[in-house]
């Protein structure tokens, strides 16, 4: 028998416990968070229960359905376009008034709606009692008590939801908000206008459409212009006339008047269903905040948390990194001896394994970083961080929340760019995305370590710190520049809730960590795989290189030479000569590899673009290494390793770099270039997707790369003039 399927959407305010209820129903991966707007993506869960296939959709937490933030647009579009069979509005019992505000807006759509009165136990201890029966009667919808974090009431909630989906009741008009006479008249006028004059009727509820037109809703206006045909203009004209009339009548914008009237309607309901006794509330969160957002202790504690997070990320991550590293090496060695010699083997052993391996090695760091960020989010500290940082971020013209993506940028730009989704205004989001890549990501760190190790041994720490600092300064300066030019306009209002602190649940932290880790593996993995194949191909071809020396016969010759010496030498000297022989052969092999790279496509490209990099103090080898960094910054070091023709990546590369004619000034210039130039391909792809515009990705590439060139030019040439080397 085919089971009937029902779609149930969960809506509600941020921090109403919506996500916990979703987790309890579906039992699948979803994170519980306190940071406003943590559930940005539409999450679904499929379960079979009571003979039905239930599709549960977790909508982003919102305070209303005005289309100002991306979360609200997502939630609203889902409700309007996909018409779930039942919409469960999760009502935070301790904040009934605000929860009902969203409910009145949901009620204006055509959806079948019911309430889950959540956390009523907490509300009761705080002295709030809610008459659910009365509420159900007044609004004519089912109301179920739930306690999300104790998994109470979930079964009844689902049974009632199925019941509601199967019922054929009409939603009573009188249960919706009734506005004052003038507004109701305007609504009716618009409804009649649409009914009689517009050929293509809006697919949405007529009353809803009329209300939104009166509220001057941008999205609906655009929709009308696009879809309503020739009468669209006239309809908007009519709406505008009515708006002007109402503005005169109420001496305020109609949308404000309507907001107040919705609250008036809610006040009426509250009077009948809510009893509050003035009990003394125990507000633990307030006491915690006395310390965490304290005038003097707030910042030091914040900085300590951030420091601890990075410390933990890198120190605890070092061990699994070693295991992965040896695993990758073992795999490469194993395949090297197992597979027969062929191009395919070359591709796997020299292309794919080192390429992908160099990214996988960062997985422990990324997982730990996300685990820490999940702790910040789930406890509610993230909102406090925004509270503390807003003043500083406001200097760049950004919201305190922008601090989080920028901070994550130090780990990896890909999730950082995605994290900017929590920002309300599109301009803020784009601005944050554009400056986040200047936060030096962890993949760039090995490059700094290698270069500073070779040229600034005693001052390595200071130099690396200065690089990070320059990144931050460039980000701030660029932010101000963009705000004044391409992204003009005020930043979004900073109206943010500081949710109560909650003890994080380990399960949810792990789910959160794994979700993002998976995203990293998937999105980076694919791109990196392709990228490393491209890099390999560019450095492996052409195959028919004309070497300056016949290395194979040279090796044979050297071997023979030493062998005869060994024969002639005494017992004691043989070992020494044997070692000399090995060294000589190794040197030849290295020279061949270097020449091969030099004459490969990659080397040719590097040599042809070398003149561009020459004024920055970067030679053709550096140019090629930087070019490969286009795929992933991790590759820069391994490219340098190959190009400077050394076997080992770490210590020996130091030596080779010192021996090459690179100066400390040139090394600094190269580090600056690495810091500023275009982000890796995975970040670029993410920028494209998150801004939704190819032009922003292009802009990011051109801006960062040209800025890098100019800065490095000034530093290198300026440094040479004032006599630094």
Partner 1 sequence: MLLSKMKEGQSGIISSMSGNSLLRRRIREIGILNGTEVYVEKYAPLKDPLELIVKGCHISLRVEEAAKITVDDVKQDPM
Q: Which residues bind partner 1 (CB under 8 A)?
A: 63-64, 66, 68, 94-95, 97-98, 101, 126, 253, 255-256, 259-260, 263, 281, 285-286, 289, 293-296, 298-299, 383, 387-388, 390-392, 394, 400, 493-500
Q: How many CB atoms lie within 10 A of CB 663?
A: 16
CA nearest to 12, candidates 78, 54, 62:
62
Q: Under the phi-then-psi rule, with left for phi > 0, alpha for psi from -120 to 50, and beta for the rest, what region is 252?
A: beta
Q: Which is nearer to partner 1, 94 or 686 (CB)?
A: 94
Please give the structure tokens belonging to residue 483: 């705000």
Q: What is the DSSP string of 94-149?
A: GGHHHHHHHHHHHHTSS--EEEEEETHHHHHHTTEEE-HHHHHHHHTS-EEEEBGG
Q: Count CB-CB contacts under 10 A for residue 608.
A: 11
Determine the Cα–Cα distance for residues 78 and 416; give it in Å rounded to an integer.
26
Nearer to partner 1, 387 or 410 (CB): 387
**Residue number, 140 or 255, with CB nearest to partner 1:** 255
For residue 253, the minimal CB distance to partner 1 (Å) is 4
Minimum CB distance to partner 1 smaller for 479 or for 622: 479
| CA proximity to 273, closest of 443, 131, 178 | 131
Please, what is the minimum distance in Å from the beta carbon of residue 131 to partner 1? 19
- Cα-Cα-Cα-Cα dihedral sign, residues 121, 123, 127, 130: negative
Rank residues 394 and 480 by Cβ distance to partner 1 and give the closer one: 394
User: CB of residue 382 vs partner 1: minimum separation in angstroms?
Assistant: 13
Q: How far is the CB of 433 from partner 1 (least distance, A)?
A: 22
Angle CA(261)–CA(264)–CA(265) in degrees, nearest 5?
Answer: 95
Burial class (CB in 10 A: 0-12, 13-18, 19+), 462: exposed
- Strands laid side by side in the 4-12 sheet: 43-49, 52-58, 4-12, 86-92, 113-118, 143-146
The H or E element containing residue 400 is none
Q: Could you tell me the smallest distance in angstroms from the CB atom of residue 290 to partner 1?
A: 9
CB neighbour list of residue 286: distance below 8 Å, 6 or more residues apart: none
Query: What is the separation, in whole angstroms, between the first and last Cα of the chain?
Result: 80
Give the contacts of 99 (CB within 8 A, at least 6 positions apart).
12, 13, 16, 89, 90, 91, 92
Q: CB neighbours of 482 closer than 8 A, spacing ≥ 6?
A: 431, 434, 435
Q: DSSP letter for 173, please.
A: G
User: Among residues 291 and 530, whose Cβ is nearest to partner 1?
Assistant: 291
Q: How far is the CB of 76 from partner 1 (least distance, A)?
A: 14
Q: Minimal distance in Å, beta carbon 294 to partner 1? A: 8
CB of 62 to partner 1, least distance (A): 9
Identity of the residue, 256 or 693, whose beta carbon is nearer to partner 1 in the bound complex: 256
Q: How far apart are CA 294 and CA 301, in angstroms?
A: 9
Specify the residue, 497 or 578, whose C-beta has the smaller distance to partner 1: 497
Q: Assign 608 to helix, strand or coil.
A: helix
Query: Min. distance of Cβ 204 from partner 1 in angstroms?
Result: 21
Nearer to partner 1, 267 or 586 (CB): 267
In 3D, which of 231, 182, 233, 228 has the Cα closest to residue 204? 228
Query: For partner 1, which is the closer residue by CB, 283 or 575?
Result: 283
- Is the CB of 188 or the CB of 256 nearer to partner 1? 256
Number of neighbouring beta carbons within 10 Å of residue 48: 10
Least distance to partner 1 from the beta carbon of 263, Å?
6
In angstroms, what is the minimal distance from the CB of 178 to partner 1?
19
Question: Taking the complex as a whole, how short is the minimal distance between the CB of residue 152 and partner 1, in angstroms?
Answer: 23
Q: How far is the CB of 653 from partner 1 (least distance, A)?
A: 44
Give me 624's structure tokens.
């090629």
């Amino acid at each position: 028998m085919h089971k009937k399927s029902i779609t149930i959407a969960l809506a509600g305010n941020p921090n109403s416990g919506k996500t916990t209820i979703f987790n309890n129903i579906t039992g699948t991966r979803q994170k519980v968070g306190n940071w406003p707007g943590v559930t940005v993506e539409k999450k679904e869960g499929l379960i079979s229960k009571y003979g039905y296939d239930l599709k549960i959709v977790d909508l982003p937490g919102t305070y209303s359905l005005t289309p100002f933030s991306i979360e609200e647009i997502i939630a609203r579009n889902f409700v309007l376009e996909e018409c779930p069979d039942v919409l469960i509005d999760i009502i935070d019992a301790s904040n009934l008034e605000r929860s009902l505000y969203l409910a009145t807006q949901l009620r204006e759509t055509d959806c079948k709606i019911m309430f889950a009165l959540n956390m009523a136990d907490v509300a009761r201890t705080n002295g709030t009692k809610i008459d659910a029966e009365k509420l159900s009667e007044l609004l004519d919808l089912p109301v179920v008590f739930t306690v999300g974090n104790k998994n109470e009431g979930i079964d009844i909630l689902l049974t009632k939801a199925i019941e509601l989906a199967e019922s054929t009741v009409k939603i009573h008009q009188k249960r919706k908000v009734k506005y004052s006479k003038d507004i109701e008249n305007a609504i009716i006028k618009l409804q009649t206008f649409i009914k009689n004059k517009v050929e293509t009727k809006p697919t949405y509820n007529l009353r809803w459409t009329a209300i939104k037109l009166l509220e001057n809703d941008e999205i609906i206006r655009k929709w009308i212009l696009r879809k309503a045909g020739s009468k669209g203009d006239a309809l908007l004209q009519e709406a505008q006339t009515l708006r002007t009339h109402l503005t005169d009548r109420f001496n305020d914008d109609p949308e404000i008047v309507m907001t107040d009237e919705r609250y008036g309607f809610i006040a009426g309901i509250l009077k009948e269903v809510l009893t509050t006794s003035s009990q003394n509330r125990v507000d633990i969160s307030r006491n915690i905040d006395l310390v965490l957002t304290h005038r003097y202790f707030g910042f030091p504690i914040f900085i300590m948390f951030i420091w601890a997070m990075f410390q933990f990320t890198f120190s605890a991550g070092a061990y699994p990194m070693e295991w992965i590293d040896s695993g990758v090496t073992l795999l490469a060695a194993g395949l090297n001896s197992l597979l027969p010699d062929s191009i395919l083997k070359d591709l796997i052993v020299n292309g794919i394994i080192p390429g992908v391996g160099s990214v996988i090695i960062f997985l422990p760091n990324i997982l730990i970083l996300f685990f820490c960020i999940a702790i910040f989010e789930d406890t509610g500290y993230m909102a406090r961080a925004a509270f503390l940082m807003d003043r500083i971020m406001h200097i760049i013209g950004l919201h305190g929340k922008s601090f989080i993506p920028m901070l994550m940028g130090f780990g990896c730009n890909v999730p950082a760019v995605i994290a900017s989704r929590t920002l309300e205004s599109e301009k803020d989001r784009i601005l944050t995305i554009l400056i986040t890549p200047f936060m030096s990501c962890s993949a760039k760190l090995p490059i700094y370590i290698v270069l500073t190790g070779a040229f600034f041994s005693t001052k390595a720490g200071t130099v690396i710190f200065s690089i990070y600092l320059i990144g931050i300064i460039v980000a701030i300066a660029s932010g101000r520049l963009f705000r004044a030019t391409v992204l003009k306009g005020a930043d979004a209002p900073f109206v943010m809730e500081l949710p109560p602190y909650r003890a994080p649940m380990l399960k949810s932290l792990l789910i959160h960590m794994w979700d993002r880790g998976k995203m990293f593996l998937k999105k980076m993995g694919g791109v990196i795989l392709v990228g490393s194949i491209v890099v390999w191909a560019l450095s492996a071809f052409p195959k028919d290189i004309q070497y300056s020396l016949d290395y194979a016969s040279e090796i044979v010759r050297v071997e023979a030479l030493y062998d005869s010496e060994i024969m002639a030498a005494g017992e004691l000297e043989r070992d020494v000569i044997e070692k000399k022989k090995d060294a000589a052969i190794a040197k030849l092999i290295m020279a061949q590899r270097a020449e091969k790279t030099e004459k490969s496509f990659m080397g040719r490209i590097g040599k042809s673009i070398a003149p561009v990099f020459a004024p920055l103090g970067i030679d053709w080898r550096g140019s090629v290494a930087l070019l490969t960094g286009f795929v992933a910054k991790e590759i820069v070091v391994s490219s340098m390793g190959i190009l400077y023709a050394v076997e080992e990546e770490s210590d020996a590369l130091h030596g080779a770099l010192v021996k090459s004619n690179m100066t400390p000034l040139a090394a600094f210039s190269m580090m600056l270039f690495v810091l500023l130039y275009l982000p890796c391909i995975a970040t670029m792809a993410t920028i494209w997707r998150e801004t939704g515009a190819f032009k922003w990705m292009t802009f990011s590439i051109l801006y960062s790369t040209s800025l890098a060139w100019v800065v490095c030019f000034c530093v290198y040439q300026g440094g040479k003039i004032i006599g630094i080397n």
